[in-house]
């Protein structure tokens, strides 16, 4: 049984290692957002990234993630690295969309995030509303920012 758990843990680690740098920044933002909420008392660990969409454009990168989180035995204040997942602990789904600037990939043009319990009756409604908000975030890649272009006119 222990070898099966070790194998599953290894496969999850490999899956996490395949994230692009932009996807990893998006995932880090989701975890920071979730743990920054006042009512979250325990550390939650990424269990799976169940949906990933990445679109490149000349103005930036659009990332859509659906992340499954599991509660661990560690308290949020300590943030230990090796926290075992709490059997029967809470499970959350975080939905997130990001538009990253192509000139400065660390700069987020727009974002939206929602985290909800996997058992919530509002999960499907939250996913529908989130999809609408993601369309707005995706359009942020196509918008021109003030001062992005300059035009000059010759003297008369």
pLDDT reported for residue 111: 92
Q: What CATH code is carried by the domain that includes residue 101?
A: 3.10.450.10
Cα distances (angstroms) measured from residue 93 to each of 20, 30, 151? 21, 11, 46
From CA 94, how far away is CA 115, in angstroms rounded? 4
pLDDT above 70 (res 146) = no
Strands 108-117 and 91-101: antiparallel
Confidence band, pLDDT 50/70/90 cuts, at residue 155: low
List the structure tokens of 99.
């538009």
Q: What is the C-alpha R_g of the chain?
A: 19
Residue 89, domain member (yes or no): yes
pLDDT reported for residue 144: 52
Phi, psi of 132 (to 5 degrees): -65, -45
pLDDT in tens, 103-131: 887 888 889 999 999 888 998 999 999 99
CB–CB of 113/94 below 8 Å?
yes
Residue 29, domain member (yes or no): yes
Residue 156, domain member (yes or no): no
Instruction: Please indicate whether residue 155 or residue 134 has the higher confidence score (pLDDT).
Output: 134
pLDDT reported for residue 98: 92
From CA 16, how far away is CA 10, in angstroms rounded? 10
pLDDT reported for residue 109: 87
As for how many domains the chain has, the answer is: 1
pLDDT reported for residue 104: 81
Residue 21, domain member (yes or no): yes
pLDDT above 70 (res 149) = no
Q: What is the DSSP letter of 34?
A: H
pLDDT reported for residue 142: 57
pLDDT > 90 fraction of the chain, expressed in percent and rounded: 33
Residue 119, domain member (yes or no): yes
Residue 130, domain member (yes or no): yes
pLDDT reported for residue 66: 94
Residue 22, domain member (yes or no): yes
**Among the residues of 55-145, which ranges form H helices?**
123-139
Domain span at residue 94? Answer: 14-142
The SS3 of residue 16 is helix
Residue 153, domain member (yes or no): no
Mean pLDDT of the chain: 79
Phi, psi of 65 (to 5 degrees): -125, 145
Confidence band, pLDDT 50/70/90 cuts, at residue 151: low
């Amino acid at each position: 049984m222990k070898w099966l758990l070790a194998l599953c843990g290894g496969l999850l680690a490999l899956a996490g290692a395949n994230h692009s740098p932009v996807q990893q920044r998006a995932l880090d933002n989701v975890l920071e957002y979730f743990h920054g909420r006042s009512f979250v008392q325990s550390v939650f660990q990424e269990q799976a990234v169940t949906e990933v969409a990445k679109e490149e454009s000349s103005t930036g990168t659009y990332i859509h993630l659906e992340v499954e989180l599991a509660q661990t035995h560690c308290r949020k204040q300590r943030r230990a690295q090796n926290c075992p997942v709490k059997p029967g602990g809470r499970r959350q789904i975080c939905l997130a969309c990001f538009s990253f600037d192509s000139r400065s990939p660390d700069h987020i043009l727009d974002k939206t995030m929602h985290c909800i319990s996997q058992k919530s009756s509002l999960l499907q409604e939250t996913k529908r509303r989130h999809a609408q908000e993601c369309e707005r975030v995706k359009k942020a890649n196509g918008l021109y920012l003030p001062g992005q272009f300059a035009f000059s006119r010759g003297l008369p």
